[in-house]
Chain A
Amino acid sequence: MDASIQRIINDIRLSTEEIISESPDQIKAVYVMDREGTVIAYTTNTVLINAGNTFFAAPRFISSLKSLVSTLPIGGVDYVLMQGTDGIIQLMGIKNVGYLMVISNSEASIGLMRILLEKYSDKLYDLLGKLIKVSEEELIEVINVEITPKDIEDVINFIKSKASL
C-alpha cells in the first residue's frame, strides 16, 4: 500500500485508540468511516467487547441512515444516538468526509461520548480530507479512452495465441 496513505490511516487508527483511552471502562469500540460508511480504522476495547465484524455492517448502516433521513426534513446525517440492549451507538457526521462512531456500554456515558465526538471531529476532518486527497492523487485512475468489445476480443485472441487454448 502507498506509504503516505498507510501513514494517514495509522494516524486515524491512533485517534481511535486515543478516544478509547479517554474512557476505557465505558467505550466498547470506536470506528472512523468514509462517506459511504466503509471502515477506515477502528479500535475495539477487548475487555468490554469481542472484536465484532462491523467492517461490513457499517456501510449498510450508513446507507440505511442516509435513505431514512432523505425522507425526513432534517438534512444530512449529523448526529445519531441509538440505544440497544447491550450498548449505545453514537455516530457523528464529520462534515462531508466521513463519520465517527462510538459504541459505549451505559446511558451514563452519553454526555461524555458526545463531548468526545465533538473533540475529535476536527482532527479527523483534517486526516480524512488528507486521505481523500492523497488517494485521489497518488493512485492510478484508469478512466481514459473507452474500451470496446473489439478490444476485449483482441485481448482474448492474444491470450489464446500465447497459451494455445
Chain B
Amino acid sequence: MPIKILKIVIAGPYGAGKTTFVKTISEVLPIETDVPLTKNEIDGKRSTTVAFDYGRMKIREDLVVHLFGVPGQERFSFMWKIIARGMHGYLFIIDSSSEERVREAMNMYSFFRDNFPDTPHIIAANKQDLPSAVDIPIIKSILKVPYEVKVMPLIATNRRSALLVLVALLEEIRNTLLETVKYTR
C-alpha cells in the first residue's frame, strides 16, 4: 500500500520557539522524534537518518505527517531550501516579544516567500503572553505579510495555543488543495 506523506516545515529565526512548539504538541500528539527517515518508504530499499529537528505522526496506515524544523541561523540558509523541498505547508514562528525581535525575522520570512511563493503558510507570533508583546497588525506591517496570510498569536508552551496554530495551518493547506482541485477540474 503506498504511503502518503504530508510534509510540514516549522520555520523561524533562531530562538523564536520552534523546538518548544514541537515539544509542546508532542506532549499531546503521538509524535515520534529522532527516528530514522526512510527515503523510499514505499519500496523500503534504503533508509537515511537526518540530523535536523524532526517529528513523525501516523494518522492512518497509509497516511503519515512529517514535521521538519529548520535551523534558524542564517549560516544554514542553504539547508532551508533543501529541507523545505516538497513541503505542503509551513508554519513560520517568530518571537513577538519586541519589535526588534520581529524585525529579526524579516530576512528569513522574505527568503521563504521568495523561494516558496505559492506554499500555504501561517505566521505564529510567539510569546504573546508577555506584556511587551507586539500587536498582530504591527507584526503584519513589519514583515510585509500579504493580506491573505494569517498571523496568529501563539504561546508555544501552551498546548491549546500550539495545537490551534497547527490546526489553522492544516486548514490553510486543505483550502489551498481545494482551490487547486477546483481549478484543475
The chain A residues found within 8 Å of chain B, CB to CB, are 1-3, 5, 9, 34, 36, 38-40, 53, 55-56, 59-60, 135, 138-149, 151-156, 158-160, 162-163, 165
Contacts and interface: CB of A to CB of B under 8 A. Distances in A.
A145 B3 contact: yes
A140 B48 contact: yes
Count class of interface residues, chain B: 35 or more
Contacts of A40: 78
A148 B28 contact: no
Contacts of B2: 144-145
A139 to B, nearest CB: 6
A142 B7 contact: yes
Nearest to A9: B78
Q: Closest 8 CB pairs between A and B? A: A152-B174, A142-B7, A56-B107, A142-B86, A145-B4, A149-B177, A142-B5, A145-B2
6 contacts: A56-B74, A138-B50, A142-B87, A147-B6, A160-B167, A163-B160
Contact of B82 (A56, A139, A159): A139
A146 B7 CA distance: 11
A139 B107 contact: no
A55 B77 contact: yes
Nearest to B166: A159
Given A38-B78, A141-B86, A155 B164 contact: no
Contact of A143 (B59, B86, B110, B166): B86
B2 to A, nearest CB: 5
B52 A1 contact: yes
B178 to A, nearest CB: 5
Nearest to B60: A154
A39 B73 CA distance: 13
A56 B59 contact: no
Contacts of B110: 56
A39 B78 contact: yes
Nearest to B38: A140
B23 interface: no
Nearest to B80: A38
Contacts of B4: 144-147, 151
A156 B29 contact: no
Contacts of A34: 78
Given A141-B39, A159-B166, A59 B86 contact: no
Contact of B85 (A1, A60, A138, A141): A141
Nearest to A63: B114
Given A135-B82, A152-B170, A163-B159, 15 more contacts: A55-B74, A59-B111, A59-B114, A59-B115, A139-B83, A141-B85, A142-B87, A144-B41, A145-B5, A155-B170, A158-B59, A159-B163, A162-B30, A163-B163, A165-B164
Interface stretch (B63-71, B127-135, B148-156): B63-71
